[in-house]
Structure 1
Amino acid sequence: MARPQEFDTDEAVEQALAVFRRKGYAQSSLADLLAATGLSKSSLYATFGSKHALFLRAFDQYRAQRRRLAVIDLRATPAGPGLEAYCRRILRQVFEQPPCLLLRQSIESQDEDPEVRERVHADFAELVVAFRRTIARGQADGSIGSIQPADQLAQSLAVSVIGMMALGGTGLPPQTGDMALAALMDLLQIRREQDEIADEGQAGKAAGVL
């Protein structure tokens, strides 16, 4: 009769994820993973099968976490400020947390790991689609003033966000990212609530109402 499992699988995956985020796949040794999860070698292999399988499980958990955060911001109303909030969240994480696992693996794996490459490509495509929908919604509700096609803006924004994710490992100051983000928001012509109030005030003055 098999012995019941005495550990939480999701918690073990989360602990392994922290190692992979900090060190990357190649530099994360089996000893690192065993120490972080508290598992024995036999338990780790019995549960996950291999270091690579554990990494894929951790990678998918990380992707799901990022997807949930994106939904919070990219479904906000109005759309423009929600899109800006998402980009600011990404930029804040770049400088406050370990390097982005998605970016690290896109660099490390190159052509050596088709399963990772497939996930990286799928995530980029999903990000472009999410941006396109949000930008189109923002153009419709007036919170994004750019009249450039949403498809083009979404592609450019996705590439720029990936570039911002790389800043954390460069040693450049956070202000570099802030300036880049400000330029992106100017490109999209994000209209915030205070901008609308100011615009209404200017219109009122011009009409002699105020």
Structure 2
Amino acid sequence: MARTREFDIDQAVDRAMDLFWRRGYAETSLPDLLKELSIGSGSFYAAFGSKEELYLRTLERYTTLQGSSLEKIFEETAELRPAVRLMLASMIEADLAEPTRGCLVVNASTQCGDQPAAAERVNTAIRQIESFLADALERAQVRGELPPEKDPRELARFLTTFTQGIRIVGQARMGRQFTEDALTAALRVLD
């Protein structure tokens, strides 16, 4: 008879995500994960299959959380420019508070290039951001907040690329003035 799982999968994924985020994929060993999750190897393999599969789940969890945060900003901020500013400013603030942490998707893109599944997860996350922003920009264009000659998809790609860059600059500890100046310049693309 199979034993009942004695730990919460969602909590385990969150704890693993934090560990991968702090240490990186390569620097996180299976013994590190077992200790962090307070489970044995049998339970680990039964629940997650492998370290890579758990990592992919943490990336999925992270992108879901980030997507929810992005949606909330755009739902609660009626106008486009303040919403974009708030989105980018929240990233800047997160990086100023914890510069070594950065963005888990950016970290994965620079650490896991030789892992096709992780690279695909990063690609999917970036495409989701692009799609969300393109939809928001299209709605703003219909409301008259974005000039008709602007291409929402092109702007979404720029802003998506900019968000990834701002996260890297945050990890490089360039400081508030540097990132605020970049943010001001980036917002001009909406004029």
Is the TM value for this pair above 0.5?
A: yes
For 1:184, the equivalent position in structure 2 comes to 186
User: Does structure 1 residue 101 correspond to structure 2 residue 110?
Assistant: no
Distance in 1 (alpha carbons) for counterparts of 2:36 and 2:107: 20
Q: Which amino acid aligns with 1:106?
A: S
- Residue 35 of structure 1 is matched in structure 2 by 35
Task: Deviation per CA, 1:126-179: give whole Å up to 9, x if none.
Answer: 222211221222233244458422222111111111100112321221221111
Contact 2:96 2:173 in 1 (8 A): no
**Number of residue-to-residue matches in the alignment:** 188
Quote the Cα distance in structure 1 between the aligned partners of 2:147 and 2:81.
Answer: 9
Secondary structure of 2:24 counterpart:
helix
Q: How does 1:1-210 map to 2 (within 5 A)?
A: 1-75=1-75, 76-97=77-98, 98-110=101-113, 112-144=114-146, 147-189=149-191
**What is aligned with 1:194?**
none
Q: Which runs of 5+ in 2 are unaligned?
A: none
Structure 2: distance between partners of 1:81 and 1:166: 23
CA–CA distance in structure 1, aligned partners of residues 176 and 20 of structure 2: 24
Q: 1:80·1:138 contact (CA, 8 Å) conserved in 2?
A: no
2: CA distance, partners of 1:92 / 1:52: 30
Identity of aligned pairs, percent?
A: 28
TM-score, normalised to structure 1, is: 0.82
> Quick check: 2:56–2:121 contact (8 Å CA) kept in 1?
no
Secondary structure at the aligned position of 1:102 is classed as helix
Q: Any stretches of 5+ residues in structure 1 without a counterpart? A: 190-210
Q: Structure 1 stretches (4+) deviating beyond 6 angstroms? A: none
Kindly report the root-mean-square deviation, in angstroms, between the aligned alpha carbons of the 2 structures. Answer: 1.8
Output the amino acid matched with 1:89: S
